[in-house]
């Protein structure tokens, strides 16, 4: 399958293909149970959807290695039973289907290390493949100054674009691409089916990397079912909106 390229990496639906690695981000396993605890009655449906989509991506991309770029699980602090079971099962699934498995620490991953150790896996701060450095993106680490990578691939933001369709607002997951200092910054959407994410046109950015890029100077690549739609830059869409509304 032919994938849309951003710099040296390719968009394979909700994952990035970086050489022979698939990169996925922000699965937030156990999210439903955490919502249930807050009184939001949502059924637990994510896990089979995640596996199904990942299988399709692996088949179409023929990648044999994988990087999970942070926030594998949802809850802060103590691990809930659903999270423990699903996370363990997911790691075993990865071991059965991929050769090299890299787990990167996200801000929700305080206890992921203990689950990972049970599957003989480790949790890393970041991981470099070719000219791309992969990190979660919840903070700007000091080791960045020493990296020789050209691309920075982050998650954490869960970007999506809200499009008005008559009375309804439809949200589509998207990638963002722009410049952070001298690096090419690529922001990934979440591999999570509970929510589309945070709307880049209507909500303030979360990641310090995005806060450091003034005026929405970022290209938007929306993804839906393996198709990629280039929307142009956030700031150009904002300018048009101001003109007409």
Under the rule (CB under 5 A), what is the footprint of Mn ion?
71, 106-107, 138, 156
**47 by DSSP, 3-state: which?**
helix
Residue nearest to Mn ion (CB): 156
Q: Which of 43, 40, 93, 42 lies closest to 68, judged by CA?
A: 93
Least separation in angstroms between residue 3's CB and Mn ion is: 25
Least separation in angstroms between residue 88's CB and Mn ion is: 21
Least separation in angstroms between residue 106's CB and Mn ion is: 4
For Mn ion, the closer of residues 53 and 156 by Cβ is: 156
Residue 69 DSSP class: E
For Mn ion, the closer of residues 162 and 208 by Cβ is: 208
Least separation in angstroms between residue 171's CB and Mn ion is: 18
For Mn ion, the closer of residues 53 and 74 by Cβ is: 74
For Mn ion, the closer of residues 71 and 86 by Cβ is: 71
- E strands present in the chain: 4-6, 9-12, 15-18, 21-24, 65-69, 101-104, 123-124, 126-129, 132-135, 151-154, 159-165, 168-180, 183-187, 198-199, 218-224, 227-233
For Mn ion, the closer of residues 107 and 119 by Cβ is: 107
Least separation in angstroms between residue 241's CB and Mn ion is: 28
Q: Which two tokens stand for residue 199?
A: 């709307």
Judging by DSSP bridges, how do beta strands 9-12 and 15-18 pair with one another?
antiparallel
């Amino acid at each position: 399958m032919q994938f849309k390229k951003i710099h040296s990496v390719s968009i394979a639906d909700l994952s990035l293909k970086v050489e022979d690695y698939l990169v996925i981000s922000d699965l937030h396993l156990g999210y439903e149970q955490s919502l249930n605890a807050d009184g939001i009655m949502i059924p637990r449906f994510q896990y089979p959807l995640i596996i199904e989509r990942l299988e399709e991506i692996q088949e179409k991309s023929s990648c044999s290695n994988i990087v999970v770029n942070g926030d594998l699980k949802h809850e802060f602090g103590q691990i809930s039973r659903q999270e423990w079971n699903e996370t363990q099962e997911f790691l075993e699934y990865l071991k059965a289907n991929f050769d090299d498995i890299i787990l990167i620490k996200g801000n929700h991953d305080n206890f992921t290390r203990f689950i990972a150790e049970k599957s003989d896996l480790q949790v890393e701060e970041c991981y470099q493949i070719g000219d791309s450095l992969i990190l979660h993106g919840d903070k700007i680490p000091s080791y960045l100054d020493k990296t020789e990578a050209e691309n920075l691939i982050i998650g954490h933001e869960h970007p999506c674009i809200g499009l008005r369709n008559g009375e309804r607002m439809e949200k589509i997951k998207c990638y963002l691409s722009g410049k952070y200092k001298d690096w090419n910054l690529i922001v990934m959407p979440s591999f999570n089916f509970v929510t589309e994410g945070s709307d880049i046109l209507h909500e303030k950015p979360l990641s310090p990397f995005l806060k450091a890029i003034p005026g929405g100077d970022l290209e938007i690549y929306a993804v839906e079912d393996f198709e990629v739609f280039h929307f142009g830059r956030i700031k150009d869409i904002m300018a048009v909106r101001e003109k007409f509304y």
